[in-house]
């Protein structure tokens, strides 16, 4: 039976540490602020934004919310981003994705100053992740690394398999594991004999977006299984990409959904906002 990695508890500890540093900055007269922009009224996006706002409050970070109507033009959105780039109260800017289809997401991301890009989606920050020389880490993969580290799981020399190659999760995840000297394989929808590859994994990270995609026969005995998936079930509850009930009997460590990677993503956003505030004030 695997040890369940408690992302809720680990994220609480991370947020507590961020809050302590935010307070220390305040004592030096430095406020930490995060601007969150949401366009339209997608219920899932609204929920994410409200969770981010709550996390800011719990860390003592000032949040500035900009809820724009669905009809907002790309030019208007970019004008707001540019205004926030120059706003000293704002250390981090987050544009909640996805954006309505008439707006080019990449153009909006490009408009965010790399120093305030706390999601780490700007090509400059993506490049820095490639080089292994970065200030901001992409929140979800960084959250996974934090879960591994705080659970005492060594990456060096391990066979790490990442299923999924998105720009937000799979690719940066693979880079972070590589920087920790893992031997990394990235799988995707064209991978042949996927189960043969995943069965070789000491650490298996799953970011596919399909409920119950990874079954027990795809997992090596004693593997560490990290489930990034967030799939909404017909009853409205969330489940992961891993068949948790069966895989937990084979794995040595496993993350649940909910309560695994999800809470870590927001905790790492808080950490990135703190890092941004420190960098913008010349503090290491
Ligand atoms: P995405 O952009 O849709 O990428 C999914 C990846 O899965 C793609 O690379 C795709 O391969 C691969 N894939 C699809 N079918 C496959 C198959 N049959 N075999 C092997 N690979 C397959 O999704 P994402 O944004 O990375 O997100 C993945 C999941 O993580 C979603 O459930 C999302 O909700 C969740 N998520 C959670 C958090 C969190 O905070 N917990 C944050 C972000 C995302 P191709 O590239 O070949 O199409």
Kindly report the number of other CB atoms within 10 A of residue 113's CB atom: 17
Query: Residues in the chain with pLDDT < 70?
Result: none
CA of 279 to the centre of ligand 1 (A): 32
Task: Kindly give the number of the ligand 1 atom that is closest to the alpha carbon of 264.
Answer: 40
Mutate to test the pocket of ligand 1, among 161, 198, 206, 208 (most ligand atoms within 8 A of CB): 208
Buried-state track 13-45, b at ≥16 Cβ within 10 A, e below 16: ebbeebbebbeebeeeeeebbbbbbbbbebeeb
Fold category of 29-113 in CATH: Rossmann fold (3.40.50)
Same fold, 29-113 and 139-262: yes
pLDDT of residue 284: 82
pLDDT of residue 236: 87
**96 is an active site residue:** yes
pLDDT of residue 112: 98
Tokens of 88: 């000293």
CA of 164 to the centre of ligand 1 (A): 5
- Given the DSSP bridges, would you call strands 33-39 and 92-95 parallel, antiparallel or unpaired? parallel
- State the CATH class of domain 139-262: alpha beta
Going by C-alpha positions, the residue among 82, 184, 91, 173 that lies closest to residue 126 is 173
**52 is an active site residue:** yes
What phi and psi, each to the nearest 5 degrees, are found at residue 70? -50, -35
As a whole number of angstroms, the distance between CA 131 and CA 228 comes to 24
Q: What are the tens digits of pLDDT across the range 140-157?
A: 999 999 999 999 999 999
Domain residue ranges of the chain, discontinuous segments joined by +: 29-113, 139-262
CA of 223 to the centre of ligand 1 (A): 21
Ligand 1 neighbour 261 (Cβ under 6 A): yes
């Amino acid at each position: 039976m695997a040890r369940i990695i408690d992302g809720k508890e680990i994220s609480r500890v991370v947020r507590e540490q961020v809050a302590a540093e935010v307070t220390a900055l305040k004592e030096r007269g430095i406020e930490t602020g995060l601007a969150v922009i949401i366009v339209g009224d997608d219920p899932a996006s609204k929920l994410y934004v409200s969770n981010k706002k709550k996390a800011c409050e719990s860390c003592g970070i000032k949040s500035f919310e900009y809820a724009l109507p669905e009809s907002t033009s790309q030019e208007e959105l970019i004008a707001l981003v540019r205004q926030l780039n120059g706003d000293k109260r704002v250390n981090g800017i987050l544009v909640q994705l996805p954006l309505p289809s008439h707006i080019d997401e990449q153009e909006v991301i490009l408009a965010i100053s790399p120093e305030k890009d706390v999601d780490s989606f700007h090509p400059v920050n993506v490049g820095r992740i490639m080089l292994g020389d970065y200030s901001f880490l992409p929140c979800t993969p960084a959250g996974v690394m934090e879960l591994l580290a705080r659970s005492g799981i060594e990456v060096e020399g391990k066979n790490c398999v990442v299923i999924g190659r998105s720009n937000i999760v799979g690719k940066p995840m693979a880079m972070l594991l590589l920087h920790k000297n893992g031997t990394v394989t990235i799988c995707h929808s064209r991978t042949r004999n996927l189960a043969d590859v995943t069965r070789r994994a000491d650490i298996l990270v799953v970011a596919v977006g399909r409920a119950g995609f990874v079954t027990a026969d795809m997992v090596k005995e004693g593997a560490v299984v990290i489930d990034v998936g967030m799939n909404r079930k017909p009853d409205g509850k969330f489940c992961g990409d891993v068949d948790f009930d069966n895989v937990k009997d084979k794995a040595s460590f496993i993350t649940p959904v909910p309560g695994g990677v999800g809470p870590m993503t927001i905790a790492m956003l808080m950490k990135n906002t703190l890092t941004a505030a420190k960098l913008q004030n010349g503090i290491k």
